[in-house]
Amino acid sequence: MFTPRHRRWYLADVVSAVFSTSSETGTLEEERIRLTKEQADKTAIENAKLRGELVPLDDMGTAWLAMTSAFRASMLSIPGKLAPILAAETDRHRVRQILEAEIEEALAELSQTRITIAGGPDDSAT
């Protein structure tokens, strides 16, 4: 769940809290309030994960890379696909229409891309 960097940060935070004076950390009541809030936050995060509303950042990065790679490939295929058609076309308005239609198709593909995150609510269905 936590990366080594997060663990080091958390450990440093805990060590700092343990060795600090009570005036730096607050009263016992303030610490209880802080603990209660942290527990509530943890529960809220876990519930959001279970509902599929929260996913790991690494998974989002992977999904974003997949989407942009597919879109890039789609866009890069346009010149090869349209060159023979456009070479014979003399009407610049028709050239524009053909190009716009192809770009709109690539954008429509991108907008319909469905990414499934492992462990998400739809994971069992795919």
pLDDT along the chain (126 residues), means of 10: 64 69 69 94 92 84 90 95 95 96 94 73 46
Residue 82: CB atoms within 10 Å: 16
Interacting residues of 126 by C-beta distance below 8 A, sequence separation 6+: 116
pLDDT given at position 25 = 54
pLDDT given at position 13 = 72
pLDDT given at position 5 = 66
pLDDT given at position 7 = 62
